[in-house]
Amino acid sequence: MSKFFSSKYSTLTPYTPGEQPKDMKYVKLNTNESPFPPSPKAQQRAAEALGKLQLYSDPDCTGLVNKLCEVYNIGKDEVLFTNGSDEILNFAFMAFCDKNNPAVFPDITYGFYPVFAELTGVPYEEIPLKEDYTIDVNDYIGVNKTVFIANPNAPTGIALSLSDIEKIVSSNPDNVVVIDEAYVDFGAESAVKLIKKYDNLLVTQTYSKSRSMAGARLGFGIGCRELINDLITVKYSTNPYNVNSMTIAAGTGALEDEAYTKANLQTIIANREYTVEKLEELGFTVLPSKANFVFAKQPDISGEKLYKELKARGVLIRHFTKERIRDYNRITIGTREQMDILLKNIQSILKEEQL
């Protein structure tokens, strides 16, 4: 730390992204990316945008907003695009939290929430998940804090029902409830349909997982006009050109090709069910996942050892050191071939373990 770094950041611990090692080619099942490339339509639109890079990007993302509104059946003033959904989450901490409106989220959830809270100087409370890693909805009824819930949750993959989400939203009319739907397309129910009914609901989604565009950095938030306006104020006070023109174009192209996304989703969901079945045959406990990953543990090997042994064999998965979840690993669902490589390696690691 230099002597110039503001003391307000002296205790800030930044988010640790999943590793992207360059030493060899891995079967990469550690950061929940899609195993499939972006839609050809998205690639074509992005290529067309290259020749106009001398111009600033459209700060209102007009074409992209129009297309999304058509697909999601919402109004143009009910959506804001950002540089990944991490950015809109950061904006939400800036816009809707402060000393009088602390943040609240589960103890086991997306690791960026406490980082954003620290960065923005917002007090926060972490509510423990139940023993079975589910969220106890009652903990959030009338909490009078700004609520952040990932649905499905990360890294557990467990989803809440829409009626449970609605209970949380309706019981906190004086606070914003942010539902982070990064993984919603893989089988959970979206809360987008509730935004017309509740002025305190912000739903965030991303192109990083279901639309195969993690590297493009595109996310968005959907909520009532007033909430979106507040977020727009923060955006225009931070970086009006937060989404670049290639990404705006690619994002529009992806929405023109929803059939491609749907087909990939079906494949990934089928591969997830296949992987769960095979892991259970190998003695794993697998939490019920509605995401493009599974969270699993095996009684004969520690989470850390399995992670390390797999890495040595060229398969990357994600291990977290946090006490409550360190027996587990998070495994991204890839192609059937990738999952078979994973399973074959796990099988031989377990065999060695049992010698």
Residues at the interface with ligand PLP (CB under 6 A)? 84-86, 110, 150, 154, 180, 182, 206, 208, 214, 219
Backbone angles phi, psi at 176, to 5 degrees: -80, 140
- Under the phi-then-psi rule, with left for phi > 0, alpha for psi from -120 to 50, and beta for the rest, what region is 334? beta
The answer to whether 182 touches 42, Cβ cutoff 8 Å, is: no
Which CB sits closer to ligand PLP, 45 or 211? 211
Which CB sits closer to ligand PLP, 220 or 309? 220
| Closest distance of CB 205 from ligand PLP, Å | 8
| Closest distance of CB 32 from ligand PLP, Å | 6
| Closest distance of CB 85 from ligand PLP, Å | 4
Which CB sits closer to ligand PLP, 85 or 329? 85
Which CB sits closer to ligand PLP, 189 or 353? 189
Alpha-carbon span 78 to 80, nearest angstrom: 7
Q: Comparing C-alpha atoms, which of 140, 46, 65, 124 is closest to residue 92?
A: 124
Q: Which residue is nearest to ligand PLP (CB)?
A: 84
Edge to edge, the sheet with strand 146-150 lists 79-82, 219-223, 201-206, 177-180, 146-150, 103-106, 124-127
Which CB sits closer to ligand PLP, 85 or 271? 85
| Closest distance of CB 180 from ligand PLP, Å | 5
Q: Comparing C-alpha atoms, which of 35, 74, 29 is closest to residue 330?
A: 29
Which CB sits closer to ligand PLP, 180 or 185? 180
Backbone angles phi, psi at 19, to 5 degrees: -65, 145
The answer to whether 81 touches 216, Cβ cutoff 8 Å, is: no
| Closest distance of CB 155 from ligand PLP, Å | 8
| Closest distance of CB 182 from ligand PLP, Å | 4
Half-sphere exposure of 29 (CA within 13 A, CB side): 32
